[in-house]
Amino acid sequence: MKSFQLLIISFLILVNSISIAFCQDITLSWDPSPTPEVAGYKIYYKQDNANYPFDGTGAAEGISPVDVGDTLSATLTELGDEVVYFFTVTAYSTDSESSYSNIVSNSWLPALVIPTIGATNEPVPVTFRWETAPSDYDVTYTLFYGTDQTEVRNVEIIVVPPPISGNNTILPGVIVILVALLLLTLRYRPATKLSQQAVALLYVILLGGMLTACGGGGGGGDSASDRSTTSTESTVFSVNKGSSDYHQAYDLEPSTTYYWKVVATDTQNPNLTYESEVRRFTTEDF
């Protein structure tokens, strides 16, 4: 059985959106496979997410995959309007089919730049880089990488809601009491050591109550990196990069195949995410 190498899809264009029929036609173009035995190409598609299998329905040309023959461009028509679709392409011969190409979408996704698809002998530290979002997107980026392709593909950002604030209505009263007690202490100094100790103890009790009302004085901001994590059962590494578009990883093993992806999270709505494809690369032997 022959193996096929399929180059990346070079671009995706939204050709038309027909408001009367509430549908959209999407044209895909891709680079040719360098394998001479290629007989044609198949377009795989699905809606809502980029997870396999690509078993989409709805295109007038048929369910996924759509065999488009020996061509480097094809259009899928009558796809649902205002629906996000994901696409990938394979090349095939009479007895074999290639692996999937990179994944593209009719919506913006964080495109991966380096390491390139299937890169080998990648020097460590490995530099990950991806394209930033258009100016009208306000997102932060989380990088995921690991040696298990399925885990990297399926891992998700778990949004942990910020701690529920305590009832702070008691705080003003506590402050008033502390101020009043301080004034009384200054005017009527305790005559005995026992009285002084009692006043000090009362200060400690009231101060503790004030800190409790403030949420325990735990400190630390409620940043996106504090709220975003991965499943504790996952072996995938995750790095919250904020608005940065690159990361250098020093913790990779030699001669090891890794998989990686980037997820962009909307800063105003943490449940709105944009997920890249999953890419593979192998580190050098050092």
Mean pLDDT of 123-140: 94
pLDDT tens digits, 59-108 = 999 999 999 999 999 999 999 887 889 899 999 998 899 988 888 888 88
CB distance 138 to 167 below 8 Å: no
The residue with greater pLDDT, 277 or 212, is 277
Please say whether the beta carbons of 281 and 124 come within 8 A.
no
Does residue 3 sit in the same domain as residue 61?
A: yes
- At 189 the pLDDT is 56
pLDDT value at residue 166: 46
Is the pLDDT assigned to residue 20 strictly greater than 80?
no
The pLDDT of residue 198 is 57
Provide the mean pLDDT of the chain: 77
Q: 205 and 240: one domain?
A: no
Q: What's the mean pLDDT in 128-152?
A: 94
Other CB atoms closer than 10 Å to residue 142's CB: what's the count? 26
For position 9, what pLDDT does the model report?
Answer: 46
Task: Looking at the structure, tell me whether residues 178 and 265 fall in a common domain.
Answer: no
Identify the domain containing residue 92 by its residue range: 1-107
Assign residue 58 the CATH number of its domain. Answer: 2.60.40.10
* 34 is a domain residue: yes
pLDDT digits (tens, 9 = 90+) for 230-250: 444 558 999 999 999 999 999
Same domain for 67 and 195, yes or no, is no
Residues 135 and 243 in one domain: yes
Q: Give the torsion sign (CA, 166, 170, 174, 175).
A: positive
Same domain, 1 and 96: yes
- Per-residue pLDDT tens digits for 28-54: 999 888 888 899 999 999 988 777 899
pLDDT number for residue 257 = 96
Name the 3-class secondary structure at 194.
Answer: helix
pLDDT of 4 reads 53
Do residue 26 and residue 102 come from a single domain?
yes
Whether 199 is in a domain gets the answer yes
Residue ending a domain, choose from 91, 107, 123: 107
- Specify the higher pLDDT residue, 18 or 269: 269
> In the prediction, which pLDDT does 23 show?
80
Q: Considering only 57-71, 115-129, 148-162, which range has the smallest mean pLDDT?
A: 148-162
**Listed residues 56, 78, 107: the one ending a domain:** 107
Half-sphere exposure of 25 (CA within 13 A, CB side): 10
Within-domain flag for 155: no
Of the ranges 39-43, 174-178, 200-204, the best mean pLDDT one: 39-43
Regarding whether 38 and 132 lie in a shared domain, the answer is no
Q: Are 111 and 133 in contact (CB under 8 A)?
A: no
Residue 157 located in a structural domain: no
Residue 167 has pLDDT above 70, yes or no: no
DSSP codes joined into one string, 125-166? SEEEEEPPPPTT--EEEEEEEES-HHHHHH---EEPPPPPPP
Alpha carbons 159 and 64: distance in angstroms, whole number? 32
Count of the separate structural domains present in the chain: 3
* 199 and 128 together in one domain: no
102 and 27 housed in the same domain: yes
Say whether pLDDT at 3 is over 70: no
Residue 175 maps to a domain? yes
276 and 209 assigned to the same domain? no
Q: Are residues 86 and 139 in the same domain?
A: no
